[in-house]
A = this chain, B = another copy of it.
Amino acid sequence: MTDTAASERTAAAAPAGDTTREELDAIAAAARRAFAVTVASTADERAAWLRAAADALDAARDELVPVADEETHLGTARLNGEVARTTAQLRLFADAILEGSYIEATVDRPDATTIPPRPDLRRMLRPLGPVAVFGASNFPFAFSVAGGDTASALAAGCPVIVKGHPAHPRLSARTAEVVGTALVDAGAPEGVFAHVTGHETGVALVQHPEIRAVGFTGSLAGGRALFDLAQQRPDPIPFYGELSAVNPVLITPAAIDARGDELATGLAGSFTLGAGQFCTNPGVVLVPAGSGFGERVAAALAATSAGAAFMLTDGIAGAFASGVARLSGHDGVDVVAGDPMAQSAGTGSPVVLRTTTAAVIADPATLLHECFGPSTLIVEYADVADALAAVRAVGGSLTATVHAEPGEDLAPIVDVLSEVAGRVLFAGWPTGVAVSWAQQHGGPWPSTTSIHTSVGVSAMRRFLRPIAFQDAPDAALPPELRDGNPLGIPRRVDGVLQLAGDGPGHRPAAG
């Protein structure tokens, strides 16, 4: 998503305030002790903790947003909205755990007729243990200290240790204080939440024996390095990384004919949003050759106020400048708008480039690699089959979008977009990720490292493992699995799904 590696190097040069190894060990030991409480906590208790954290963040918004703006240059309007998104996310997870189906309660009563004969078996999910979260630079609230990874891990019953991103250190520290205090004041155990800093601390965190899983949003290089460390442990642990995406967009000839200018305006707005610092930025846009779409995007861009904008860090701005320079110097690539060679230090100015499907298919490693910032590459195709070959060359991406007209046969296009992406859009632009039950944020490598989402309710599944109880006395079972369904949660009994409310403790499902 962002150039963590560059930012981390800056931090490593000034490790004075970094968390020490001794401090990390104490924090991890406290997380382990907290887990003994959270693993046995009820959904009611954890929902109260999450809501208290949300309330505290809302209450601290006027203090936090100016700090965030100083550190990230993202603007107070966007940042205020991001706080609201972050607290809504915490509350959605609270609703979801109360609804109860996330725990996948499954009861198989004894059956001597199955092969082999079946004892009494009851299955549910159980939290993994302390989770490490690596916040992103580009969403200092929603994907950082109290973002989706933290919310989903806490909801699942896992203590969280956040490695704060060095692009917003003061905001991270203060957010952690607000959240940590609110959680403990609401009854969560000491040690349930902590914040650490420093590049070497992050490395030690991924390798720490007490850590049972990692959530990460950041660059391909940084994420791959930490993924490798997690897998090379004596006891490998799940590493849920969201790394890199170009988010291809395919515009059909009919769509260009019908509303080319509208699409050009939409693209100009999407790829420059937040100085292009979105993991879902539309980086590759496939259009019919000869449609003049590039010039229309250039005209649309000129009509906006998008210009040079401060980027999250000098390192990210530098990586963007060298990225667009490299792309624009590539054989077969021409510049349609902006000046790749005239990027000022610390800022990014919009750049629109153009090439052909033949060029991207010949060198996908260069031309279909994420260039994080306000740029997009328009790729001209001969026909839709040619365009789909280029989409396939992308490999994996968070999103893939088609713009078509009513009546067009979308099946062959949807097949290919579904192959490469975790979210397929049929209108609009991929920037903007709703937080809901049906959301999927993740896709084939290198967009993510796993088959799970990092946004939406099912993100909790990453931090839970199944456990089955065989022939247990009722009193020894967690209440989710007891006879009579005392919590009234949805369950599967002898293979048959049963709704909440079939038991005495019915709860309304959350919307």
Instruction: Give me the interface of A with B, judged by CB distance under 8 Å.
Output: 40, 81, 84-85, 88, 95-96, 99, 101, 104, 106-108, 114-119, 121-123, 126, 128, 227-228, 231-232, 235-236, 238, 395-396, 406, 410-411, 414-415, 418, 421-428, 432-440, 442-446, 449-453, 456, 458, 464-473, 475-476, 490, 492, 494-497, 499-500, 509-511
Contacts and interface: CB of A to CB of B under 8 A. Distances in A.
Nearest to A213: B451
Contacts of A465: 422, 442-444, 451
Nearest to A235: B445
Contact of A497 (B123, B435, B436, B490): B490
Contact of A423 (B238, B410, B468, B510): B468
Contacts of A452: 466
A122 to B, nearest CB: 6
A495 B437 contact: yes
Contacts of A495: 95-96, 99, 436-437, 509-511
Given A116-B81, A116-B85, A437 B471 contact: no
Given A116-B434, A117-B434, A497-B101, A468 B439 contact: yes
A496 B511 contact: yes
A107 B411 contact: no
Contacts of A456: 123
A132 to B, nearest CB: 16
Given A116-B433, A123-B438, 19 more contacts: A40-B415, A85-B115, A104-B458, A108-B437, A117-B434, A118-B436, A123-B456, A123-B458, A236-B445, A410-B476, A411-B476, A422-B466, A423-B467, A426-B471, A437-B494, A438-B468, A439-B468, A490-B497, A495-B510
Contacts of A106: 437-438
A90 to B, nearest CB: 11
B500 A497 contact: yes
B511 A422 contact: no
Contacts of A236: 227, 231, 445, 449
A509 B496 contact: yes
B439 A123 contact: yes
A406 B228 CA distance: 48
Contacts of A424: 467-470, 472
A114 B436 contact: yes
Contact of A434 (B101, B118, B494): B118
A406 B396 CA distance: 55
Best-surrounded residue of A438, A444, A456, A472 (most CB of chain B within 10 A):
A438
23 contacts: A85-B116, A101-B492, A106-B438, A108-B434, A108-B439, A116-B433, A116-B435, A121-B439, A123-B439, A123-B440, A227-B231, A228-B232, A235-B395, A235-B446, A410-B476, A422-B466, A423-B468, A423-B470, A426-B476, A451-B464, A458-B466, A494-B511, A497-B500
Contacts of A117: 434
